[in-house]
Chain A
């Protein structure tokens, strides 16, 4: 795998965004009333 600056920065941010979606946003929108 070629670790270009784009791969490092954008890859890291995409992973973070995915995980925020799963562990922060999903529990938030599925909160019990």
Chain B
């Protein structure tokens, strides 16, 4: 690992830009989540308000969480640690700032286009063609900045975090272009079953080739640094990296077990969903053994605390995901709120927690002063943790009620009164998460622009 005593003076303008981007869009994204949850409790609340009907609010929430909050948060940390791990400066801070600006313009475009009803109607690929092009270009620029930094490096050995960031950005540029069918600007889709196969190849790889590699990169950097310990195993990091790319990339069809796709493709998806235990446990054993006996150091650093909690959530969401790919399990759990609970453990509990941890670990280093408020960051940690675990509990219960009722032949609308109370609790927890995002943005802004910080 690069050490603190190197003289690598930098403004870290790109890292700061992505930190602000992440903090701001977390607030907006969680507001849309809260709005959608409220509409599920009180569907008439926003009737005749076309821009914010549930069908437009939901994809806005999902896209802003993925590309507004979590990805920029992870990239912010990456723009700090990639130059440090390579003992050089970032290739171009100017290009980085341009990327941050373009990224934010694209996010404004996401809200405006979805609110206006412009959608390609494919889950995780709703965005229209001009925004697809901007997203692909943004990932291309991020990759170019990183690979040129690699080219200028003083450190001959690439640390595992660098592998994950390079692979995550270039592979996402490819899968995003492919999955959004950008060679067909009018529809952004193929036709029929083949479109479903392609869509879920891409949809699952948003997690597999973007959020997971970038989160792993941040964890591989933050945990050894916070523990002041070398990484447990180079071999495990190799196994985890290559197994992730080989296995994760072809499990998307487990979203289509109810669809007449070729049976062999379903079998591949199910078998490899179970095989995901290899890259997941290779990564987790490596991180947890690195931290073994050093939990005090992790508890003392709020960034490391977020990141370590994220790795625990990664364990839960991955084991759950492997089980959910089994047809007998999916017969109960698919198409209902169980899946929504699973998604929140993954994106908020795992990648979101690690994104926040990356921010709170690196902000004091890029500003040269402590966080504005360690207390607010800790308070946000507990709000996010309680909110996320609460989501999991109530949505899992609601999902099991729905799934079992439907298996027994019950109609959808007759089950709705049964799950109403869980929707009310979910909206309350959504308010908790939104409030935590407001506190987080305040803390990030004061940390970046305030004159002094406090350490407690």
Pairing of A with B: yes
Interchain CB contact under 8 A, B194 and A8: no
A4 touches B158 (CB 8 A): yes
Instruction: Flag B162-202 by CB within 8 Å of A: 1 or 0 each.
Output: 11001100110011001000000000000001100110010
A12 to B325, CA, bound (A): 25
Pairwise interchain contact A16-B245, C-beta atoms closer than 8 A: yes
In the complex, what distance in Å separates the CA atom of A11 from the CA atom of B249? 14
> Is residue B238 within 8 Å, beta carbon to beta carbon, of the partner chain?
yes
- Note all chain B residues with C-beta closer than 8 A to A16: 171, 174-175, 209, 245, 249
Q: A15-B245, A20-B178 are in contact. Are A27 and B261 (CB under 8 A)?
A: yes
CA distance A9 to B164 in the complex (A): 10
Cross-chain contact B250 with A9 (CB below 8 angstroms): no
Tell me if B262 counts as interface (CB < 8 A to partner A): yes
Tell me whether A19 and B250 are in contact in the complex, defined as CB-CB below 8 angstroms, given that A5-B166, A12-B167, A12-B245 are known contacts: yes
Q: What A residues does B252 contact at CB under 8 A? A: 23
- Cβ A23 vs Cβ B166 within 8 A: no
Do B265 and A27 have beta carbons less than 8 Å apart? Answer: yes
- Taking a contact as CB atoms under 8 Å apart, the answer to whether B170 and A9 are in contact is yes
Contact for B166 among A9, A19, A20, A22, CB less than 8 A: A9
- In the complex, how many angstroms separate the beta carbon of B207 from the nearest chain A beta carbon? 15
Please, how many angstroms separate the alpha-carbon atoms of A24 and B250 in the complex? 9
Q: How far is the CA of A27 from the CA of B264 in the complex (A)?
A: 10
A-B pairs, top 7 by smallest CB distance, nearest first, are A12-B167, A19-B249, A23-B250, A8-B163, A19-B250, A5-B150, A15-B245
Task: Give A residues with C-beta under 8 Å from B.
Answer: 1, 3-5, 8-9, 11-13, 15-16, 19-20, 22-24, 27-28, 30-31
26 example contacts (A-B, Cβ-Cβ < 8 A) are as follows A3-B158, A3-B163, A5-B150, A5-B151, A8-B162, A8-B167, A9-B147, A9-B170, A11-B242, A12-B167, A12-B245, A13-B171, A16-B171, A16-B174, A16-B249, A19-B246, A19-B250, A22-B250, A23-B249, A23-B253, A23-B265, A24-B197, A27-B193, A27-B197, A28-B194, A30-B262
